[in-house]
Structure 1
Amino acid sequence: MDEVAAAFEEQRGRLVAVAYRMLGSQADAEDAVQEAWLRLARQDADTIDNLAGWLTTVVGRVCLDVLRTRKARPQASYEDQLPEFVVTEDNDVANDAVLADSVGLALLVVLESLGPSERLAFVLHDLFAVPFDEIGQIIGKSTDATKMLASRARRKVQGSATPTDERRQQRAVVDAFLAAARQGDFEGLLQVLDPDVVQRTHTPRGMTVRLGATEVATRIQRGANANLKTRRVLVNGNPGIAAWTATGQPLSVMSCTVTNGRISEMVSITDPAHLATLNLPPAPE
């Protein structure tokens, strides 16, 4: 059994990566992989010719069940859930390579629009190179039908890709917002906020919501603090802002959605306990 456990641990990192791309939740991904281990423990390992393939199949089926359950009985809106932020550095235009690498993170948002079978076919084949015939066995479809699912998902994903020029425009908008926020410039904030902007902030006491450019700008102007350290970052591959105290303690992380040259949505985390779990880049000097 020790040999089986060791072999499983060799596969764990890849399995979690597969499950995370499928489910968009680290906790759910870990649960799916743990279920695969429990099933492996009940299985006669000598009957498994390809352990990596067997585990991928099991994790895929577990994830598919979870996605179908979500679709059949939707739980609370994602707007009400604490977001899973992956925060990385954003070093301006020179960082386009990092932006390209981060597409896997931003992709999670796009994958939410796919059906369970589409999502599994695309993730397993395009991201993890699992053959179509093996994927077809997981979802219960022929190889040709599985190829069609992956192709349809691929078109949706490609159609949602953000061109480099648009990425640069988004950066410019976030930079303008950051400059106005630092100065408490009310008019400057209104220029970069969509009139119907929505700001959601996850605090230790729960989520607060502010609606409209005037309300959001007023709150930001009142909270302007020249002693804060702030910088633009990437949050799940999209432009965002991180803030620290003068002594370098994390204060907040915010993801920004830019639409037609203005910020239309802002999602922030200010809960210190949750901020402590994020792998934040260093505060600016």
Structure 2
Amino acid sequence: MSDTSPTDPVAEVFESQRDRLRAVAHRMLGSYADAEDVVQEAWLRLSRQDAGTIHNLAGWLTTVVGRISLDALRARQSRREAPYDDRLPEFVVTLDDGLAPEDDVLLADSVGLALLVVLDSLRPDERLAFVLHDLFAVPFAEIGQILGKSTDATKMLASRARRKVRATERPAGVGREQRQVVEAFLAAARHGDFEGLLRVLDPDVKLAVDTPVGLVVTLGATEVAAGAKLSATAAVRGHAVFVNGRPGVLSWHEDGTPFTLLAFTVGGGRITEITAVVDPAKLALMDLPVPV
């Protein structure tokens, strides 16, 4: 937290903008912790500025947060030399209460969280242009100044990003279909139905398990099906959830502490990716629903 004083007019403006700045940084970086760091850095930069020379303080802060986030994204990409990143995306988990398809609109907030996953597929400059303009209504001219590009070039970046986002948007009703595929997988796992597992797993499915000793990755339907016992155990002890808008399962120990979080990606009627978090330390840090 910053050491702002409530009697300082500059600090008051900063505090009034804090939630918005944090939201911008979170959409850019996909991590609440990183977003907090960016906002704190923006405050430190503001404290070194002569505020009297800033004509639009809110706009200045948005620009600074955008630049810091862009630098962080570029640095993050330059470090991705291994075939698999050693960090998992930040998860937002909400209970799936089995809403009927006609109630699908009520899932909008949960599904919108999946946008963070989609944004990860964009280049840093595309992500900045899309996030600032489409989500926070920052003019293209101001975004162009951050990127060092013309207004027209910035518009093209946002348009390209918009097409990528729309290409991955969820068609109506697919949420229920995805859940049915996951339920078929869990049922097959519970009954040891190896052939049933292979029917719902993509041949190139990827399983990533976040353990206390690091990320363990398994590739291929045969290998993933052979290790499906974890999914079966979680299904018996858990509850259906949405993980960044996608189907998942959260299970708890008898004392109410989280046991396992599973997240599934479904495409073409088959599971293409499974993420499992079993590291107690990671689970303890997450904002997870309470046992039901």
Q: TM-score, normalised by structure 2?
A: 0.87
Equivalent position of 2:118 in the other structure = 110
Matched, 1:42 2:24: no
CA distance in 1, matches of 2:33, 2:193: 40
Which residue in 2 is equivalent to 1:23?
A: 29
2:115, 2:234 → 1: CA distance? 35
Give the stretch that moved more between structures: 209-218 or 133-142: 209-218
* Structure 1 residue 184, shift from structure 2 partner: 4.2
* Aligned partner letter, 1:156: K
Q: Which amino acid aligns with 1:231?
A: H
Q: Residues 48-72 of structure 1, C-alpha deviation per residue, up to 9 Å, x if partnerless?
A: 2222111001111112222333444
Residues 75 and 28 (structure 1 numbering): CA distance in 2 closer, same or farther, change over 3 Å?
A: farther
Residue pair 1:174, 1:232 contacting (<8 A) in 2 also: no
Partner of 2:75: 69
Q: 2:281: which partner in 1?
A: 273
Structure 2 distance, partners of 1:226, 1:24, is: 26
Q: Which has the larger displacement, 55-64 or 43-52? A: 43-52
How many Å separate the matches in 1 of 2:12 and 2:109? Answer: 30
Structure 2 unaligned residues grouped into runs of 5+: none
Distance in 2 (CA, whole Å) between partners of 1:179 and 1:264 is: 17
Partner of residue 158, structure 1:
166
Residue 265 of structure 1 deviates from its aligned partner by 1.3
Q: Please, which of 126, 134, 139 is the counterpart of residue 134 of structure 2?
A: 126
Q: How does 1:1-285 map to 2 (within 5 A)?
A: 2=5, 3=8, 4-74=10-80, 76=82, 79-94=85-100, 96-221=104-229, 224-225=232-233, 228-284=236-292
Tell me if structure 1 keeps the 8 A contact 2:235–2:251: no
Query: Matched residues in 1 for 2:233 and 2:26: separation?
Result: 37
Moved more, 27-36 or 89-98: 89-98
Q: Give aligned pairs, total.
A: 284
Aligned residue identity for 2:185: F
Is there any run of 5+ residues in structure 1 with no aligned partner, and where? Answer: none
User: Is the Cα–Cα contact under 8 Å of residues 234 and 249 in structure 2 kept in the other structure?
Assistant: no
Q: Could you tell me which amino acid in structure 2 is paired with residue 42 of structure 1? A: R
| One-letter identity of the residue aligned with 1:6 | E
**Shift of residue 280, structure 1, vs aligned partner:** 1.7
Which is worse superposed, 37-46 or 20-29? 20-29
Q: Which consecutive aligned stretches of 4+ in structure 1 deviate over 6 angstroms post-superposition?
A: none
User: How far 1:129 sits from its partner (Å)?
Assistant: 1.0
Query: Partners of 1:37 and 1:174 in 2: how far apart?
Result: 45
Pairwise CA RMSD of aligned residues?
Answer: 2.4
Structure 1 residues 83, 114: CA separation in 2 closer, same or farther (over 3 Å shift)? Answer: closer
1:68-90 deviations in Å (ceiling 9; x for gaps): 33444535555421331111122
Q: Which moved more, 1:221-230 or 1:102-111?
A: 221-230
Instruction: Write the distance in 2 (CA, Å) between the matches of 1:206 and 1:71.
Output: 20
Residues 186 and 232 of structure 2 are in contact (CA less than 8 Å); yes or no, is this contact kept in structure 1? Answer: no
1:257 shift after superposition: 1.2
Q: Report the Cα offset of residue 136 of structure 1.
A: 1.8
Look up the SS of the partner of 1:263 in the other structure.
strand
Distance 1:163 1:73 in 2: 34
CA 1:230–1:140: 2 relative to 1, 3 Å: same
Q: Which range moved further: 115-124 or 73-82?
A: 73-82
In 2, the alpha carbon distance for the partners of 1:37 and 1:161 equals 35
CA contact (8 A) 2:95 2:239 kept: no
Q: Distance in 1 between matches of 2:57 and 2:280?
A: 41
Deviation at 1:143, TM superposition (A): 2.2
Amino acid at match of 2:19: G
Percent of aligned pairs with the same amino acid = 64
Measured against aligned partners, the alpha-carbon deviations of 1:17-53 in whole angstroms (never above 9, x if no partner) come to 1011112233322222122111100011222222211
Asked whether the equivalents of residues 228 and 245 of structure 1 are also in contact (C-alpha less than 8 Å), the reply is no
How far apart are the structure 2 equivalents of 1:62 and 1:255?
30
Q: 1:13 to 1:87 in 2, by over 3 A?
A: same
CA contact (8 A) 1:242 1:253 kept: yes
